[in-house]
Amino acid sequence: MSGNSPRVQRVIDDIESRIACRTAPPGSRLPSVRAQAKALAVSASTVVEAYARLVAQGRLVSRPGAGFYVAATAVAPLKLAPQGPPRAPDLDPLWLSRQALEADPALLKPGCGWLPPDWLYQIGVRRALRGLARGNGAELADYAPPQGSAALRQVLVRRLAHSGVEAAAEQLLLTDSGTHALDLIARVFLSPGDVVLVDDPCYFNFHTLLSAHRVTLIGVPFTPQGPDLPAFEAALQAHQPKLYLTNSGLHNPTGARWSPAVAHRVLLLAEQAGLVIVEDDIFHDFELSPAPRLAAYDGLQRVIQTGSFSKTLSASVRCGYIAARPEWLQQLLEVHIATGFGGNRLAAALVLAAITDGGYARHMEQVRQRLAQRREQCLVRLAALGITPWLRPDAGMFLWCRLPHGRDAAAVARRSLEQGVVLAPGNAFSPALRAAEFMRFNVSQCDDERVFAVLRNALRAP
C-alpha cells in the first residue's frame, strides 16, 4: 500500500491536531467536505480521502446524510496548545520550561529564572532537616491540616503586613508551590474559553499554565510603571476578561515596580469591570523596599495574592501560598483537598524552621547585595556588546534588555545553545510576539566569562 499523498496527510494532520488540543472534541461534527476543502485550499477529493482514512482508523465516524464526527471513543489526551500566533519550537514557553529543568548541569543558564544552588539558604535547610529528624511523629507521618501549618500561616501574615497586605491566618492556604497556587486559582475562577489578561512581556510559564486551562490570553503592554493604562482599559472593553495575572512587587521579566497611581487606577478599572486580579508576589524577599501591592490597596477584596519560597530558600522544598478573601479561600481549599488531598506538611515544616531561624534575614541581605554587584557588572559587560537595558531595576535577578542593531533574539539564543549557553529570548515572554529584539538575563547566572564570549559570537553571526 502506498502512503498518503502530502495533501491528504496535511488534512489528516490538521484534524488530528484539532482532536488532540480539543478544538474538535469527541462527538463534534467536522466541517463539510466542501467547507474543509475551501478552508485548507485543497480539492474536495483530497478531503474525501482524508476523511475516509480517518474513518478507517476509527478516529472519525461517518453518519450518512449528517456528516463526519469525531469518534466518541477516540482516546485523545489533551495536548497543550499555547494560544496566540504560531511560534517556533524554541520560543514555545513549555519547551523553554522543559529545557531549563532538563538542562545538563554543565550548561550555562543565564536565561533561567532562579539563583544558582549555592546562593540559596542551604545552611538553613540543612539545619531544618536535622531539626525535623528529631521532631514529633505527626509532623513526619501524618497528613497536613487542610489549610496547612497554622504556624507558617502566622509567619506569612507578618510577612504580608511588611508590604502592607492585611490578611488573617484564615485567609491563607498553603500550596505545593507558587505555580500550584496559580493553578488552583485558575481552576476555581476560569472556564475554557474565558479571557485572561497578562502583561506583555510576562513570565513565560504563565502562558503554559493558562494553556492547560484552555483560556485565551491577551497581553497588555507593560511600562516601567505597570501596565499601559489606555491599553488595559481597551482590553477590558474589548475582551471582558475574567482575570488579570501579574507580578506587582518585582515584575518578571522587566524588574519594574508598579507606581502607586497605576495600581490605584488599575484597581478602579477592575472594580468597574468585575475583574479578579491575581498578584504573584514570588520575588518578595528580593525587594530593597516594598513596592506598591495591589492586594494592599484593595484589602484582598478582588485581588488574590500568591507567592512561594522557591526563589530564595529552595526550589526542591515545594511550598507556596494563596491569600484571598475568606469565601474565595474556602472554595480554593475545597479544590485543593479534592485534587491533592491536603498539602505538603513536611515542606511547610522545613520552610517554617528555615525562615524563622534568625539567619534567613541576614542571608537575604547578602543575596540582595550580591545581586546589586552582579547587576552592575553585568550591565557593563552587556553594554560592551551593545546590549542595553529597557530599565535599570533596583532589585531582583533580572535584566530585560534590547539587543543591538535589530538582532533577532531567537536566532541568537539558538546559536548560543549550540555553544552550551541557555538564553531566554524575548518573544517567549510576549503573548503578541512583540519582543523579538529583547532578551532576559539572570545576573546571578552570568558570572562565567563564557556567557559573554558565546553571546558575542552569536551576535556577530549573520
The answer to whether the bond into 221 is cis (omega within 30° of 0) is: no
Which of 42, 397 has the CB closer to its own copies? 397
Decide if residue 170 touches its own copies (CB under 8 A). Answer: no
Of 128-136, 284-292, 377-385, 402-410, which segment contacts its own copies by CB under 8 A? 128-136
For residues 235-294, which are near its own copies according to CB under 8 A?
Answer: 240, 242, 273-276
Shortest spacing between CB 248 and its own copies, in angstroms: 20
Percentages helix, strand, coil for the chain (3-state, rounded to 5) are 50, 15, 40
Nearest distance, CB of residue 96 and its own copies, angstroms = 10
Contact 309, 149 (CB under 8 A): no
CA contacts within 13 A on the Cβ side of 185: 34
Q: Is 13 in the site for its own copies (CB under 8 A)?
A: no
The footprint of its own copies on residues 50-79 (CB under 8 A) is 58, 71-75, 77-79
> Given the rule CB under 8 A, which of 35-43, 45-53, 112-120, 419-427 is the region that contacts its own copies?
112-120
CA dihedral 207, 211, 214, 219 (to 10 degrees): 20
When binding is defined by CB under 8 A, the residue of 64, 65, 89, 137 that contacts its own copies is 137
Instruction: Among 163, 246, 254, 344, indicate the residue that binds its own copies (CB under 8 A).
Output: 344
Pick one of 153, 251, 345, 363: the residue that binds its own copies (CB under 8 A).
345
Name the residue nearer to its own copies (CB basis): 344 or 427.
Answer: 344
CB 11 within 8 A of CB 42: yes
- Residue 109 as a binder of its own copies (CB under 8 A): the answer is no
Task: Build a one-symbol-per-residue string for 180-209: x at contacts with its own copies by CB under 8 A, - elsewhere.
Answer: x--x---xxx-xx------------x--xx
Q: Helices 359-384 and 449-460 meet at what angle, rounded to 10?
A: 30
- Residues 375-414, mask of contacts with its own copies (x by CB under 8 A): ----------------------------------------
Would strands 276-280 and 195-200 be described as parallel, antiparallel, or unpaired?
A: unpaired
Q: How far apart are CA 189 and CA 312, in angstroms?
A: 29
Instruction: Give the pairing of strands 388-389 and 320-323.
Output: unpaired
124 touches 357 (CB < 8 A): yes
Q: Between residues 46 and 305, which has the closer beta carbon with respect to its own copies?
A: 305
User: Which one among 12, 245, 295, 350 touches its own copies, defined by CB under 8 A?
Assistant: 350
Per-residue contact string for residues 144-163; x = within reach of its own copies by CB under 8 A: xxx-----------------
Instruction: Determine whether 436 is exposed, middle or buried from the number of CB atoms within 10 Å of its CB (0-12, 13-18, 19+).
Output: middle
Q: Find, among 427, 404, 396, 127, the residue nearest to 285 by Cα.
A: 396
| CB of residue 205 to its own copies, shortest distance in Å | 6
Position 29 contacts its own copies (CB under 8 A): no
Which of residues 41 and 338 has its CB atom nearest to its own copies in the complex? 338
Quick one: cell of 130? 536535622
Looking at residue 460, its amino acid is: R
CB 351 within 8 A of CB 313: yes
